[in-house]
Amino acid sequence: MSQTPLRERSEKMSPEDYESLSADAVIDRLLAENAAAVERGSVCITCSFQAEDMIVLDMLRQKLPSVPVLFLDTGYHFAETYAYRDRMAAEWNLNVRNLTAKQSVPEQEAQFGILNRTDPSRCCHLRKVEPLFEALENFEVWFTGLRREQSPTRKNLKVVEHHLLPSGRALLKVSPLAAWTWGNVWEHTVRHKIDYLPLYDSGYRSIGCEPCTSIPAAGADPRSGRWGGNKLECGIHTESKRSD
């Protein structure tokens, strides 16, 4: 943990103040300032088991070993993603909570057809957005691995944001790596010997559901390989709204 005196750590910082802190210091300060939420078990991290998420998770688990790790199990992930999730959950003794949609994949396809082909936004809403927002109702602090560089839709991302869920519930959304570059991600991954999802070795840069993920063209936006380039977000980070 940070060596900052407890008296100073108890004084809340403004969201702007966090922009100058290192990722690890952001986590330390947020946990100190929200000690009551920590005691209540109201801190979580969303994790798709991509490289950025694994860095934040590795930092966070050093301080909160049992932090809930929310994984959106859409039923459409790569086999490699499921295998990596299970392996890392065992190696790191993670408290993984697999969030699923109200309908199974066969039930959804029987009612609506293959939505990831005909209406991917609706598919994402049913299989990602709804399950996550329902789960987040139980938390006060939400850690993510988001970075501004990932997409034009994330260029205004703040390290710390006050967010409102569609229900009106407020929570803190914390993205310690907001200012990191792709180079920073891999330098840290290698230096700290964090095992990574093998799909990166095949050329993938942004990895989601298998039917909606492809290898981006050289020099293209990393998320251009998602949804055939027709959209950049599933809705998780656009349907919740920043309130500050």
Is the CB of residue 65 less than 8 Å from the CB of residue 86? no
Is the torsion defined by CA of 33, 35, 25, 71 positive or negative? negative
Is the CB of residue 96 less than 8 Å from the CB of residue 85? yes
Residue of 98, 106, 92, 91 lying closest to 48 (CA atoms): 98
- Our answer to whether residue 44 is catalytic in this structure is no
| 77: Cβ contacts below 8 Å, ≥ 6 apart | 208, 209, 210
Q: Where are the beta strands (DSSP E) in 160-221?
A: 160-164, 170-174
Query: Rounded to whole angstroms, how far apart are CA atoms 135 and 126?
Result: 14
From 47, 123, 124, 234, the catalytic residue:
234
Is the CB of residue 125 less than 8 Å from the CB of residue 235? yes
Q: Which residues are catalytic?
A: 234
